[in-house]
Amino acid sequence: MLDKFKQRSHRLEYIDTGNYTAAEYEDCISELQFVNRWMGDAHSLKATLLREVESQSLASFSILDIGAGSGELLRVAATWARQTNRHLSAVGLELNESMAESIVEQSEQFDEISSVRGDALRLPFADAEFEYVMCSLFTHHLLDEEVVEVLREMSRVARRRIFVIDLHRHPVAYFLYTTLGKIVLHSRLVRHDGALSILRGFKSEELLELAQRANLRDIRVERHFPYRLVLSATARATVQLPDAEVRSSRAA
């Protein structure tokens, strides 16, 4: 059984193949927001990118979120910025037109959030256009070669750092999801794709290697509870800094 965790799976998820109805997709998005809220993505964002903003004492900052989904993490960032009296300009990028529209629709209380339809492999932005560029639960949908290209593009359009939040491919995470998920999850897409997403996820050393292939610098991979990895790196790779570092964060 443990053999399936040695290497990333490249089986396509239903969400990637289009094997779902419009109603299933709506249910999927709603349930994914619930799962992500409880599985640590907002915490990982606050413990990495937003902590970086705080440590730099930035009064204003900009974020590009690639594959932003409904824009939930941008709303987390916008709420935090308001609570800490900072000005945020946030853009969510989605290839799917309806999802790009959904970001704006669900963020109607946040004028600082906008959306753009575009391809992560060819970002429609100028060099160094944003302070920070991030993505969450996006790179596991890609082949390794595509991940490298996305990292290069993220670094190109960022001025400070990039942050990639994704799944830690771990047997315990898979076991918990496939057992408890049967009890609390109702969406066919979430139950099937969530388990497969873990198998398509990463080990720390794999993310480090991909970042090094993208010629990034000051690379860090932090482990966050429960079963999240956060890769960060200096933008544009213009300064020679320590190559790689793996950190662990067990804070809930």
Contacts of 23 (CB under 8 A, 6+ apart): none
Span 137-192, pLDDT tens digits: 999 999 999 999 999 999 999 999 999 999 999 999 888 878 876 677 767 677 76
Q: Do 121 and 146 touch, CB atoms closer than 8 A?
A: yes
Question: What φ, ψ does residue 86 adopt, rounded to 5°?
Answer: -120, 155
Span 182-192, pLDDT tens digits: 677 767 677 76
Span 5-62, pLDDT tens digits: 889 998 877 666 666 667 766 666 667 666 666 666 899 999 999 999 999 999 999 9
Beta bridge partners of 113: 90
Contacts of 200 (CB under 8 A, 6+ apart): 8, 9, 10, 11, 13, 140, 141, 167, 169
- Structural tokens at position 97: 């037109």
Q: State how far the alpha carbon of 106 is from the alpha carbons of 65, 114, 241, in Å.
A: 15, 11, 40
Can you give the pTM of this predicted structure?
A: 0.86
Provide the edge-to-edge strand list for the sheet that holds 244-249: 113-117, 87-94, 60-66, 130-136, 158-167, 228-234, 217-224, 244-249
Burial of residue 239, with CB atoms counted within 10 A of its CB: 0-12 exposed, 13-18 middle, 19 or more buried:
exposed
